[in-house]
DNA sequence: ATAAACAATAGCCAAATGGTTATGGATTGT
DNA sequence: ACAATCCATAACCATTTGGCTATTGTTTAT
C-alpha cells in the first residue's frame, strides 16, 4: 500500500535480477540496455521492465543518445534504506562502534 | 532462483507489513503472535505466515511458552544487507567518511 | 530508400504473493 | 470434563510479478 520512496527501494532490490543489474551498473558504470541485456540473462523487454522499477525507486537514471539509452546507478537512492537500517539494525550500531574503535586505535 | 540468505533477507523486508512487524519487535522487544496480530492489522494466520518468512531470513527467533509463541527480532540477520550496501552503496561510503570526520573532530 | 539495430510498449501467461476463512492441536482456565 | 485461548496449517482466491514473443517508433548504416 505505501507508495513511499523507501518502499519502492526495498521492493526494487528484492529481485535478484534487479540487484544484479544495479550491481553491474555500480561496478562497470554507465551501460546501454543492450549491454545490460547481454549481462542479465533475460530478454531485452524484461531488462527494460526491471529498469523501470529501478527508475521508480530512483536507483538508476537514464540518458538517451540516439537510438540507445544509457543507464547509470544512483546509489544516493539507497538513503532511505540506510536510514531504516540505522533505526532498526542494532547490529548496525555495533559496526559503528567497531569502526569507532578502529579509528580510535588508528589515532593512538 | 538464488536461495542465499541475503536474498531471503531482501525479500523478507520488501513487504511493508513484514517490515512493520520487524520494527515493532525491535522497538518493543519480544511479542506474542497475538500481540503482533493486534498491531499488524491483518489476520492471525497472515501474521503467522509473515513470521515464517522472517524466520526463513533469520530476522526473528521464536520461543514457545505453553500455548503462546514469543517472537523477537534478530537484527544481526541484517548483516548480509549491510555487506551488500558496503559493496554497492557509494553513498554509504560517504556516511563512513562523514563519520570519520566527526570522530576526528571529536578527537581534536 | 531500405534495412538493420536499439529500446520501449503491448499483450499474454504461469507462478508467486498476500490475504482470507476454516480447521486442528495443544494448553490453560472454569 | 468442558470451554476458551493461542497458534499453525490447509484450502482457497485475487492480484501482482517476472518472464516471454510480437510490435512499433526511432535512429543509424548500407
Report residues 49-78 of A contacting strand C, contact meaning Cβ closer than 7 Å: 49, 51-52, 62, 67-70
The whole domain housing B67 covers: 5-107
Quote the pLDDT of residue B2. 78
Q: Considering only A81-90, B24-33, B83-92, which range has the smallest mean pLDDT? A: B83-92
Q: What is the DSSP string of chain A?
A: ----HHHHHHHHTTSHHHHHHHHHHHHH--EEHHHHHHHHSS-HHHHHHHHHHHHHTTSEEEEEETTEEEEEE-GGGGHHHHHHHHHH-HHHHHHHHHHHHHHHHHH-
* Max CA separation in chain A (angstroms): 57
In strand D, the nucleotides that come within 7 Å of a protein beta carbon are: 5-11, 17-22, 25-28
Instruction: Give the pLDDT band (50/70/90) at residue A70.
Output: very high
* Averaged confidence pLDDT in chain A: 88
Note the pLDDT of residue A58.
97
Strand C and B14 CB separated by under 7 Å: yes
Q: Is the pLDDT of residue A82 over 90?
A: no
What CATH number is associated with residue A98? 1.10.10.10
* CB pair distance less than 8 Å for A90 and B107: no
The owner of cell 533469520 is B58
Report pLDDT digits (tens) over B81-96. 988 988 887 656 566 5
Question: What is the 8-class DSSP label of residue A3?
Answer: -
Nearest residue to A18 (alpha-carbon basis) of B76, B84, B82, B75: B84
Domain count, chain B: 1
CB B6 within 8 A of CB B84: yes
Residue B103 with chain A: CB contacts under 8 Å: 100, 103-104
Nearest-by-Cβ selection for B89 from A75, A95, A96: A75
Amino acid at each position: 500500500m505505501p507508495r513511499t520512496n523507501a518502499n519502492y527501494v526495498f521492493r526494487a532490490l528484492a529481485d535478484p535480477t534487479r540487484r544484479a543489474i544495479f550491481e553491474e551498473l555500480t561496478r562497470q558504470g554507465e551501460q546501454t540496455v543492450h549491454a545490460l541485456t547481454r549481462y542479465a540473462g533475460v530478454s531485452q523487454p524484461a531488462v527494460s521492465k526491471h529498469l523501470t522499477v529501478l527508475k521508480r525507486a530512483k536507483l538508476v537514471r537514464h540518458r538517451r543518445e540516439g537510438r540507445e539509452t544509457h543507464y547509470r546507478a544512483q546509489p544516493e537512492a539507497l538513503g532511505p534504506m540506510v536510514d531504516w537500517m540505522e533505526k532498526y539494525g542494532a547490529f548496525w550500531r555495533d559496526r559503528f562502534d567497531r569502526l569507532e574503535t578502529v579509528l580510535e586505535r588508528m589515532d593512538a
